[in-house]
A and B are shown apart, each in its own frame.
Chain A
């Protein structure tokens, strides 16, 4: 690994970690698509601030960008509150507008500047190591690592300081306001934090793929745990792993790093979605199959039990007829025989003592 590659990965890891943290709350608050709005809208802030200070590395740019993110959110909420436009459409008309204005300004007036429409979409993490932070002649590493590192610290500070407030207002907003927290304030603080994060990540991964880093790692974590703190921790782990493996995939195929990180995030999600122990697709299917079998077995046993007691419907001498197919019926019979709960003699089904016991328990609802 060359020092250059090390630097890129360092920046990628910090970006991924800082995106995952607020992302967990966005996913839980069902506001994932707000990221879309914020990450597009910050471009306008960056450009307007740039026209103002004429310096791409000025911190004013970050503040301007974050402000425009929060502004976009307030605008969306204002449009939505007027009840003239539905929520989804309010998001859908506000950010493309701000983004379009930004792209036009960018291509018209900022042609020769470091930012262009391409890097807006693709990010330029590959160039991150070239911009060094030099302190009294000493090379202290890539500058973006410091910028992003401060944003990571801000995020960590935010969630540790407001953990309780965030948790309560995420899961039960009315309860939060009844015990004196201010969910609206928390909401806007979270939006500000997301804006800052998007601004930082914007340089590295561009305005669209930042959504991948904010939304996907928490979604993976969401399918694996029920605890908020564990979810945040797992999101960070997923985010960092996606950043590193995305980098190496991009390196291997010689393609865009940000796109590759987003794609790897998607692969991670696919794996978790399919294989998560309880909530994965396979897990759910296995559980459904198990419940179906369980129910079928119990139904057959109860039916046989009722026949023994003479309460069965007379025209169903063989309980196998209750199943939709003979295949399924013989499967159920096979399982029950295997468990020693029924016996098959001369084509007829009979309960064993064990089977009778289970039928009785089922009937009693145990």
Chain B
């Protein structure tokens, strides 16, 4: 594996491709954060699918598989899809989700129609056009990476220049509007930035899965941080790492398409973050269980204290069953008693009778200072 990695990084072509994947990752991580924070993840999905007819049309018009026209074609048809969604939702009772379904499937359908149409043409040039479906990073050459880098640079530049404004747009557009920023133009600008990220991912990841390259890094990064700046940076790192890993995996194993390989990497990071980040699903579950145990322990300690008060005897022992009776149904006190014994707060007497120790009495006093003295 190490040899493979060394070989990969020393090879010029491989370095070019990895550089392309990494820059794609940085851009989609940053830009995707906006899509996710604005709850527009699925719009990204629609846009990346909708890029297909533009790609094929650009090819049909220009006649060669040239990067720039394809980028422009893809961007235009992706933007047109967003326009269609807005047009339909504003002017009819069709809801956003349906409008997105319509735009996605019709554009993609048209793309496939055009693709099959082009593939019938005798010209051999169109070969590889369907690589845009699932992506193929091996096909990247230096010039492609340069265009990816430039487009990405401009996208990041826009994000940097409009940092504050985009933040407003994400979190409080109404307030932003009252501050005198044109939220509509900002909305268009963010869409443009997202479209440019999608466009540069088309060759590496492909139209079908590009949306996930935007969404998953941002979702993952969001789990670890609560500030915009660190989220954007973290998302960029996660996406770049997954991009590079995915491309390497796809190059290292036969018959593994690049797009799916990258998406599996980034999704694994996203799911891991959702489960195990400090506020993650399992972490919260663990915290919950721990605090429930603490509360139970305190309850049992208090109950022993109360019973001892009733009998006016600090050393009076009570059975576990009696302690369980006073609590909710199905509430097991055994584990709490064991834990308390380990802490030295209670001691067992005989078969299954329990009483407070001196330090247990002090602990109750600490927990509730107003409690009567034993």
A-side interface residues toward B, CB under 8 Å? 27, 30-33, 35-36, 79, 82, 84-89, 91-93, 96-97, 99-101, 103-104, 107-108, 111, 117-118, 121-122, 208-209, 211-212, 214-216, 218-219, 222-223, 250, 253-256, 258-263, 265-266, 269, 273, 279-281, 284
Contact = CB atoms under 8 A, between A and B. Distances in A.
Main SS class of interface, B: helix
B101 A35 contact: yes
Secondary structure of the A contact surface, majority rule: helix
Interface in B76-93: 88, 91-93
Contact of A222 (B94, B115, B260): B94
Nearest to B209: A96
B89 to A, nearest CB: 11
A269 B102 contact: yes
A300 B92 CA distance: 31
Contacts of A85: 219, 222, 274
Contact of A219 (B94, B113, B257, B260): B94
5 contacts: A89-B218, A96-B212, A254-B120, A259-B112, A269-B106
A119 to B, nearest CB: 12
A33 B42 contact: yes
Interface in B101-117: 101-102, 104-106, 108-117
Given A92-B41, A258-B112, A281-B91, 14 more contacts: A30-B95, A84-B280, A92-B44, A96-B211, A100-B212, A100-B260, A101-B260, A107-B257, A108-B253, A108-B254, A122-B112, A122-B116, A255-B112, A266-B102
A97 B101 contact: no
A208 B98 contact: no
Interface stretch (B11-19, B149-157, B262-270): B262-270
A88 B212 CA distance: 12
Contact of B134 (A89, A117, A259): A117
Given A93-B216, A97-B263, A263-B110, A86 B94 contact: no
Given A89-B219, A107-B256, A261-B109, A211 B94 contact: no
Contacts of A36: 42, 45, 101, 104
B256 A89 contact: no
Interface of B: 36, 39-42, 44-45, 49, 88, 91-98, 100-102, 104-106, 108-117, 120, 130, 133-134, 208-209, 211-212, 215-216, 218-219, 222-223, 253-257, 259-261, 263-264, 267-268, 270-271, 274, 279-281
B267 A91 contact: no
A209 B264 contact: no
A27 B93 CA distance: 11
Contacts of B95: 27, 30, 32
Contacts of B281: 82, 84
Contacts of A108: 253-256
Contacts of A256: 112-113, 115-116
